[in-house]
Copies of this chain bind each other. A is one copy, B any other.
Amino acid sequence: MEAYCSMKAQEVRKLIREQVITGQTSGMATGFTQANLVILKQEHALDFLLFCQRNPKSCPLLDVTEPGSYRPAKLAEGADIRSELPSYRIYRDGVLAEEVNDITDYWEDDMVGFLIGCSFTFEAPLLAGGIPIRHIEENRNVPMYKTNIACTKSGIFEGPTVVSMRPMKAQDAIRAIQITTRFPDVHGAPIHLGDPSLIGIDDVSAPDFGDAVTINEGEIPVFWACGVTPQAVAMQSKPSIMITHSPGCMFISDRKDSELSVL
């Protein structure tokens, strides 16, 4: 793992393609932006593109492939989204059907790939800013929750906004708002802080995705819109087929995190 940190994105993607790496990508190819993946058939692509356009906090689009193409030209020319993520989830009619390491055999000529900004990108500058991140300290996946904040509907796509949560001291929360505001393409500023029940989260110790983390006394839970939202939406909207990355198993792009900072 240590060795993967200092590799370039292209080198890590090669190891993923060769299935040397089949698990989470957090921390690999430090400085290179990682992205969430959603693949749909062309019949749903316009609706989904509109869904992202209408819900930019949870679905900030970094790249969309040409219909039929598995090349994310903007994020990494020549990369192949069919084999260069460690693990994929295949949803059929809204139900998780399979989890595989390569989707080349599942690719169809009318599929479109959507690459969506991921909060991994802003965690590096948070850490660099001296803000501890609990789920990293506790070596867990970030806790994620379905909220009562409805996404704006587009065609068949509708559902709740999913948020990721990081507990912090108030001063760190204020600084984290400043830092993440610089990154509008990777969820930007939080959408809520404080009382979880105000956004429909009844039990903060029971996340819908990822793992629970410790919230210490005097800490405030801070909630960011999350790129897992499209998966929650897929489950609810039931397209005939939708392929996503497995949680934490992201696409590592050739773009630098620093390029995504607007300040």
A178-200, CB under 8 A of B: which get 1 and which 0? Answer: 10010000000111111100100
Tell me if B218 and A191 are in contact (CB < 8 A): no
Say how many copies of this protein the assembly contains: 2
- Find A191's partner among B174, B191, B220 (CB 8 Å cutoff): B174
CB pair B178–A192 under 8 Å, yes or no, is: no
Complex formed: what's the CA distance from A220 to B220 in Å? 11
Measured CB to CB, the nearest residue on chain B to A193 is: B170
Q: Quick check: is A177 within 8 A (CB to CB) of the other chain?
A: yes
Assess whether A21 is interfacial by the CB under 8 Å rule. Answer: no
Judged by a CB distance under 8 angstroms, whether A173 is at the interface is yes
A190 touches B174 (CB 8 A): yes
Contact A193 B173 (CB under 8 A): yes
Contact of A177 among B174, B194, B195, B198 (CB under 8 A): B174
Note all chain B residues with C-beta closer than 8 A to A220.
193-194
Q: Are the CB atoms of A198 and B218 closer together than 8 Å?
A: yes
Assembled-state Cα–Cα distance A215/B198 (Å): 16
Cβ of A139 < 8 Å from any Cβ of B? no
- Closest CB in chain B relative to A2 CB, distance in Å: 36
Q: A174-B189, A193-B220, A194-B220 are in contact. List 16 more A-B contacts (CB 8 A).
A: A170-B192, A170-B193, A170-B194, A171-B191, A173-B193, A174-B190, A174-B191, A174-B193, A177-B177, A177-B178, A178-B178, A181-B181, A193-B193, A194-B194, A198-B218, A263-B263
| CB-based nearest B residue for A176 | B177
Alpha-carbon distance A194/B173, docked complex (angstroms): 11
- Complex Cα distance A215/B190, Å? 22
Residue from A174, A177, A178, A189 whose CB has the most chain B CB atoms within 10 Å? A174
Expressed in whole angstroms, the Cα–Cα distance for A192 and B174 within the complex equals 8
**Chain A 146-182 near chain B by CB (<8 Å), digits 1 or 0:** 0000000000000000000000001101100110010
